[in-house]
Structure 1
Amino acid sequence: MNIKFTIFTAFAAIILLSAATISPKKYEKRGIKRVSKYLIDTPDQDRFVKTTLMQGEFTEPTEMTILPNLDILVAQRRGEVLIYKNQTKKLIQAGKLNVYFKTNNPDVNAEEGLLGMAADPKFAVNQYLYLFYSPFDKSVNRLSRFKLVNNQLIPSSEKIILEFYSQREICCHTGGSIAFGSDNLLYVSTGDNSTPFDVPKKQFVNKGYAPLDNREGLQQYDARRSAGNTNDLRGKILRIKVNEDGTYSIPEGNLFSKNDPKSRPEIYIMGNRNPYRIAVDQKNNFLYWGEVGPDASNDDPMRGPRGYDEVNQARKAGNYGWPYFIGNNYPYRAYDYTNGQSGEAFSPAAANNNSPNNTGQTTLPPAQPAFIWYPYGESKEFPQVGAGGRTAMAGPVYYPKGNKQPYPTYYNGKLIIYEWVRGWVKAVTMSPEGDYLSMEPFLSKVDLAAPIDMEEGPDGKIYILEYGKGWFTKNPDAAITRIDYLKGNRPPSIQGLEIAKTSGLLPYKMMAKVIAKDPDGDALTYVWNLGKGITKTSTSPILQYTFNKAGEYPISVTVMDKDKAATKSTVIPVFAGNEHPSIDILLSGNKSFYFPGKPVDYKVLISDKGAKVNNSRVYISSNYTEGADLAGAQMGHQQATQTMIGKTLMLKSDCSTCHKESAVSIGPAFDKIAIKYKSDGKAVDYLASKVINGSQRIWGEIPMPAHATMKEADAKKITEWIMTLSNKESLPASLPSVGKIVPPASADKKKNVLTLKASYTDAGSTGLRPLTTTNLINLQNNEIQAADIKHFSGFEKKDLFGGEKLILKKENGWIALKNIDLTGISSFIFSYASLEEGTDGDMEIRLDSLDGAIISKSTLRTSSPINLIIDGKLHSLYFVFKSVKTKDNKSWPVIKSLTVVSK
């Protein structure tokens, strides 16, 4: 394999060198990027655009199939079969199956229903449609064939092809995807029908690892009865040949013999947890699927590996390991649920199924490793996939259809994979044999709302079914979309819409500015929609407009190029006839740092144009949070709406996939969380820990995923916003408008930012809702840890002595603190985790630049008094280490922290 890869790399290098001799402009017009002095044929992602065909009309869409005339059939979990008509652009209902989709247990979500759909490869001739569903009146999952005639599903035409028992009133894992190979063999995926959550009121439970609980009466917690059972069709991918009369035959090459009483010959792939979306390479019939993995966030030496999602490839029949293995054949350990004792790790060569719930073979086929695998946290093997919640999906291996080549040939033969929770799409490059070579972003400029199915249409274009960001509900962002590639002219891109002042008394003079550019360099026209039928067209990105009538106006702008290609901005509401209150927070001392034990004197000033300030509407609070950025954002005043801080961070994360502000989803609504914890003074910290570490069995069976890479400060901003959704009366009493805050003498060093926050909500005005303004000021603890210092040169940051330290690597170096207030500052003291005897040097403190005025000189071993600066401005300080000498030229100083000393 290494030899092949070397040859492949050399061949690619020859192509790149040849390409470098061709005119760069010629390539750039074709959307080819320049890398260094070479050109590589990587298409510009902004040439891919999403065309929305239908949106807001779907309730839990699951799978789609695209007909030869480009009509699109959509299956909905609750039983509806819908058709999007390509000619009329209308959505109609073709039929409805009576399906089981909801349990009678209020604490358990069923995932069954109408799960999968595929049109027959010869649909234009036979009009056959295959559906995989859970009939309401029988505890089975069923594959049936129907006829679709004149846009209607004919119930009497149903041919039941196969069905198998599925345990109900439990959660989870259904699979349900249908796909055809180029040889017309039908593949259908099935889930393990097992509960991954902990058994209530039991001491020894799954904890997110492999469900191997074989205690009597707990069959739903034992995936060996299904996925690990050679004689059961659950937790499998089946492969059959459907006959004309609706029966089926077994093709050659499936996993088990037709004559083995302890196995099922329909099984092509076994050892699956939830193979939710599958695809078949139409050139070589390799099978691909996304495997939704278990929930454990960390490896456990007594239980086994943390959870991974997988994207898998099968070139032939095989066992893919679940529930004995996950990821790259990482083994679980046998576990005795009666006493909590762990056994040996399972062997991939021949795992043993000794569960009393097993009806099949005892020794299982060798386990195959995953093709791609990744955990909640960042993946070392596949860093492109990012971090967060996990729901892996497999799309098509892309090939143009006939002479249609709607996308660049660069993507021919690449596997397209995507993520339901994380929202990304990737293109996977493989060798001619199918070996993994690389992965790269695909459709990276296209926003997707929980993509749940992806198909290539007869026109060679990719179609995406978006479930929408919410579970078990009708989502307004659920949609059918088509991906188009703009070979020529591209629409403008909008980086942002800015409105200088979003409210004002009449006459309200608004100034708006849109930041936009055209990728092709065309002149732009701006069509401003000012709400209530008011539009303005200009050739300037800046608009000034005066509102003389009170009201709330939704402001947006559509930017068009000379060929009428257009992009619309987000909508920003403005308020004419009422103006946001103004809040100032004044400090008498230093405005960048607080000093433990030393009072912070503050005064909050509020003004409300056109109205008298009502002190009962003022709310002032202080708290301590984690913050590490000393360069700007954490320092000084910030004018912001409270909801725009934590809420914006929440929307950028995948939290909105599981939670809504007040609506029902798979996770609890944020306002319900706020109400539950409204009397808990530690709610912000507690909830932030749940965001970062995940949680189980607090609001129900479904675990909430961990966000291990999210900063604690960001998680707390999110949970601070959540807590504002409870009634204001439940908040602690407001601080006075004028007062003192005394930081504790022994503060938690992780909570190193003191935030003083003031909010005021006015009374509104006729026809306008009340407006709220929040202002805050952040003060950094005067002891700055080395881990929090971001600007330095000549130093290396390394984890030593229980935390990150700064190590000087040569005789000279510098450290900078940027944009800080120097009022009342008398000196700076470095604390060293290691400073060998005999090591010393000079240090200068320079103002605003490395060549700035020297305001202090000292040695490494003495404090650094500075000339007092009282101009009230923010400055940058550069601590310049010079001529540092060590005893053996090895033991360089290791800085632990820097303390700011006040006079």
Structure 2
Amino acid sequence: MNYIKSFFWLAFMGAASAVTPSERPVFRQVAADSTGVDSSRFTYTTLVSGLDEPMGMAILPDYDIVVAERKGAVRYYDNESKELKTIAQFNVFSGIEDGLLGVAADPGFKENNWIYFYYGVGGTENISHLSRFELKDGQLIQSSEKVMLKVPTQRTYCCHSAGYLTFGSDGLLYLSIGDNTNAEEIEGHNPTDERPGRHLSDDQGTTANSNDYRGKILRIRPEADGGYSIPDGNLFPKDGSLGKPEIFAMGLRNPFRVSVDPKTQYVYWGDVGPDTEIKASEGKLSYDEINQARKPGFFGYPYFLGDNEVFPKYDFETKKEGPGKDPLRPINNSPNNTGVKELPPAQPAFIWYGKVPSKKWPLVGKGGASAMAGPVYYSDLYPNAPYKLPEYYNGKLFIYEWIRKWIIAVTMDANGNYVSMEPFLPQLKVVAPMDMQIAKDGAVYLLAYGTNWFARNTDSGIIRVEYSEGNRNPVAAAKVSKTVGAAPLAVTLSAKGSKDYDPGDKLSYEWKIGEKKLNGEELKYSFTKPGIYNVVLTVTDQNGGKGSATTQVKVGNTPPAVTISSQSNKSFYWDKSSLDYQVKVQDKEDKVIDPKKLKVSFNYLAFGKDLASVLSSGEPGNLQYANTEKLYTSLDCKACHTLETKSIGPALKEISKRYAEKAGAQETLADKIIKGGSGSWGSYPMPPHADLPKKDAQEIAGYILSLGKQEENIPLTGKIALTNHVGEGTEGAYVLQAAYTDKGANGIAPIKSSSNIILRNPLIQMEDYEEGNVGVVIATLNTGYISHIANITDGKYTRFNHIDLTRIRGIKFQVQEAGAGGTIELRLDSKDGPLAGSLEVKAGKVQNPKTDWKEMTLAVQPTSGFHDLYFVYKNPTAKGALFHLDWMYFER
């Protein structure tokens, strides 16, 4: 999310100097496993989920949490009841990244109940407010609003609002504000367009303008009457003669997340960088930055980036480049500048990185980026905190990444200079971390934004991380047998997945549903009325350690029942065969099935293995790109694109529509995926994927183009000739799939259910078993290799899951008589299950490993339906191997 930056000089009249690259410390990295911290001593609890664009949180003294959602909702998490509620809805302008952006509780909240918000005011006036409210007994008193500061903005162009609020340990309030400048139409350069009528595209009028609040970090002291005073030591004089006296740091683009070192008062923030075509020391001059302000200052934008690398002066009229500014004495001569012309020496970033892999900091990764700064931790500030972090993290700064989804601990020396960095909790894969704070009990709180931009995400929420030196808290795992259904809904509640890392601990289990409390590791419960219920499991050990987990049950809508029946075999296809089928749908609430919501498709796929994950979405059509879709989701693409709706980038289906009829569309899109680009869809350039193989890029482009093709439903009943596999080898599969989405009921959203039949080739390699205790041999021959299973001795077995034996007469094996011989038994659903057939294999000795194979058929007793097939190998008198098996073929 593009939102962040800042810094300046001590005395405006020239007392300070810029830091040159040669004065910066030597960089080094620390391996991920070098901390010696036992990761099992960290426990994680998701307190809430499903938030709608959470932007910031305020942790109150009693561990209740206030969350600001961008579209204006104020959410309140009650730590005692474990419930989430909405306590206010601000009237906000929520376009171009604006909205309800920041929240912070007053350091004296326990006594004064003051809480602060920063938001874009709804209506026609282009203005944002920093306001103070009273929050009492979990209720926000909106009539108590005191507007402390009004910030004029523009709402014509996107982007960069920032809006983070935080307090220093000295009681000063910090507010970050983005440059609010046109991020479009910058022609691959920095936004310094000085042409008449283009002032909204000139950052020299905002972030580099001492007389403007935007592109700054402000520092003020709140006063009891709802106003504020200017503390000593800000960037400009208190009389406003040289600039806004509230300014602490300027020259920032999008200073998105800010923290203040509680001991040194150094200010840290992440600044989300631009996307330019200017060559730089590492890739292009498009760095994201982590900044450190030891004192007020100017941090370079829009003239410098990273280690004070200089943007050339670009003339938007003539399209020519000229020399850039001098970092030691930058001059702002823009006609849009209403402040001082001579700016302080530019301060370089503390850490910076671009879209390509970083040579200085390889741990930061590559691709899209949104840098953010978290707290600096000091163990002595948490003297009796039960969950304080290990001493190892004392004095370290935590930084994190919204796009790349990592958290990193940065080690500094006594003077605050960079020393090293290492991953922090890499096992905790937070989806788009948006805020990070440490509570007074030492627990780390993480606010997760979720997968998609500008959306309510199911994987958003608040995560609490606890560290324990002594008794470790249990890890609660709540499982509900049914999470949706009609009332009454009978479910089984199970805590059997819960665990405790301390040997010998005895656990007790409490379930809370509304006001009801139930006890037991596993129990039955019936929801009698429609509604959405939070089910809270608390697991406690005998030493008082607790862990909790929350899940949700939706009562009032029954999932549709979608079935596909057939008289044919539903596991395999053969030459000159066909598939008869009938699709039926029933839905308790809908009664009448809406044909527009029912999709039935039939496809032949060139691949047939690992289809379970492919079909998990239950969405018919487009299956030929199922493997490609898995590749797509493994990249950073989902951070900017969704399937149906515009996110930070266009929806995939919109891209498909635009390119559908264009010649060479697949090649064009593949080229864009690899090289990146800008200008086609607006202000957000797509980062390059230079190391993505061209073949993969072409596959992804083909997948995107396929999304615009409307596939017609096939009839609900029919008979299909299976001919597409002819000449295509043995890896393909036919997929018949049906899905129905109901209309929703009793306040519960629509539910989609699906069913499918997958037909694969009847030739199966024996080494592809699901479970077994035999060996696999890959024997290299002069004409290639042959793989088979070996080390088959008495009592061993192989299992193949979920195979339909309807109309199967026999199973032909490729056998090598290479031992004492024995019996192959076919048993159903377990090693000791019903015997469905057997085959005797004679003893023998291999003379020629290549040719000494023969085909033998196991006759199958008439059997219908799906079974797990266990092939059990028997010869109680043999001391060694019995035989080898290569493949089997199911005969009809």
Shorter-normalised TM-score: what interval? 0.5 to 0.7
CA shift at 1:133, angstroms? 1.3
* Equivalent in 105, 111, 114 of residue 97 of structure 2: 111
1-structure distance, mates of 2:739, 2:649? 37
Is 2:117 the counterpart of 1:131? Answer: yes
Which 5+ residue runs of structure 1 have no aligned equivalent? 14-32, 103-109, 199-204, 495-513, 526-536, 539-557, 585-602, 623-635, 742-754, 777-817, 826-867, 874-903
* Equivalent in 270, 275, 281 of residue 295 of structure 1: 275
Structure 1 residues 172-181 or 718-727, which shifts more? 718-727
Is 2:358 the counterpart of 1:379? Answer: yes
1-structure distance, mates of 2:722, 2:198? 54
CA contact (8 A) 1:449 1:478 kept: yes
Q: How does 1:571-590 map to 2 (within 5 A)?
A: none
Cα RMSD between the aligned structures? 4.7
Q: How does 1:405-420 map to 2 (within 5 A)?
A: 405-406=386-387, 407-420=389-402
Write the letter of the residue equivalent to 2:118. Answer: F
Is 2:190 the counterpart of 1:206? Answer: no
1:5–1:187 distance in 2 versus 1, CA, 3 Å: closer
CA contact (8 A) 1:116 1:176 kept: yes
* Equivalent in 365, 371, 394 of residue 344 of structure 2: 365
**Secondary structure of 1:710's partner?**
coil
2-structure distance, mates of 1:4, 1:197? 34
CA shift at 1:470, angstroms? 1.5
Cα deviation 1:514-555 (Å, max 9, x = unaligned)? 999997899999xxxxxxxxxxx99xxxxxxxxxxxxxxxxx
Match in the other structure for 2:668: 686
CA shift at 1:365, angstroms? 0.6
Q: How does 1:740-751 map to 2 (within 5 A)?
A: none
Match in the other structure for 1:670: 652
2-structure distance, mates of 1:756, 1:685? 30
Match in the other structure for 1:701: 683
CA contact (8 A) 2:564 2:757 kept: no
Match in the other structure for 2:629: 647
CA contact (8 A) 1:639 1:774 kept: no
Match in the other structure for 2:93: 100
Match in the other structure for 1:599: none
CA contact (8 A) 1:697 1:703 kept: yes
Cα deviation 1:552-607 (Å, max 9, x = unaligned)? xxxxxx9x9999999999xxx999976996678xxxxxxxxxxxxxxxxxx98877
**Secondary structure of 1:42's partner?**
coil
Q: How does 1:144-155 map to 2 (within 5 A)?
A: 144-155=131-142
Match in the other structure for 1:434: 416
Match in the other structure for 2:293: 314
Which 5+ residue runs of structure 2 have no aligned equivalent? 1-20, 478-495, 508-519, 522-536, 552-559, 584-599, 615-622, 714-720, 741-751, 762-777, 786-847, 854-892
**Secondary structure of 1:362's partner?**
coil
2-structure distance, mates of 1:651, 1:222? 37
Cα deviation 1:710-733 (Å, max 9, x = unaligned)? 3444444444443443436599xx
1:819–1:561 distance in 2 versus 1, CA, 3 Å: farther
Match in the other structure for 1:252: 232
1:100–1:757 distance in 2 versus 1, CA, 3 Å: farther
Number of residue equivalences: 647
CA contact (8 A) 2:476 2:547 kept: no
CA shift at 1:466, angstroms? 1.3
1:265–1:706 distance in 2 versus 1, CA, 3 Å: same
**Secondary structure of 1:427's partner?**
strand
CA shift at 1:391, angstroms? 0.6
Match in the other structure for 2:798: none
Cα deviation 1:34-91 (Å, max 9, x = unaligned)? 98xxxx65213354332111111x2221111101011101111122222111111122
Cα deviation 1:682-705 (Å, max 9, x = unaligned)? 444433333333232333433333
Q: How does 1:73-472 map to 2 (within 5 A)?
A: 73-102=66-95, 110-137=96-123, 138-198=125-185, 205-207=186-188, 209-259=189-239, 261-296=241-276, 299=279, 305-400=284-379, 401-406=382-387, 407-472=389-454
2-structure distance, mates of 1:653, 1:223? 32
Match in the other structure for 1:502: none
1:300–1:320 distance in 2 versus 1, CA, 3 Å: closer
2-structure distance, mates of 1:298, 1:493? 51
Match in the other structure for 2:756: 771
1-structure distance, mates of 2:498, 2:694? 34
Write the letter of the residue equivalent to 1:66. Answer: I
2-structure distance, mates of 1:164, 1:475? 30
1:71–1:519 distance in 2 versus 1, CA, 3 Å: closer
1:291–1:822 distance in 2 versus 1, CA, 3 Å: farther
2-structure distance, mates of 1:242, 1:434? 28
2-structure distance, mates of 1:366, 1:735? 74
**Secondary structure of 1:142's partner?**
strand
1:241–1:566 distance in 2 versus 1, CA, 3 Å: closer
1:420–1:772 distance in 2 versus 1, CA, 3 Å: farther
Cα deviation 1:600-652 (Å, max 9, x = unaligned)? xxx9887759899xxx9775689xxxxxxxxxxxxx99665445522222333
CA contact (8 A) 1:618 1:758 kept: no
CA contact (8 A) 1:305 1:332 kept: no
1:47–1:722 distance in 2 versus 1, CA, 3 Å: farther
Match in the other structure for 2:13: none
1-structure distance, mates of 2:122, 2:355? 35
* Equivalent in 728, 731, 734 of residue 760 of structure 1: 734
2-structure distance, mates of 1:3, 1:340? 36
1-structure distance, mates of 2:663, 2:780? 32
1-structure distance, mates of 2:38, 2:458? 30
CA contact (8 A) 2:48 2:550 kept: no
2-structure distance, mates of 1:373, 1:43? 27
Q: Percent identity of the aligned residues?
A: 40
- Could you state the TM-score of these two structures normalised by the residue count of structure 2? 0.64
CA contact (8 A) 1:196 1:206 kept: no
1:699–1:49 distance in 2 versus 1, CA, 3 Å: farther
CA contact (8 A) 1:64 1:117 kept: yes
**Secondary structure of 1:237's partner?**
strand
Structure 1 residues 516-525 or 64-73, which shifts more? 516-525
CA contact (8 A) 1:45 1:444 kept: no
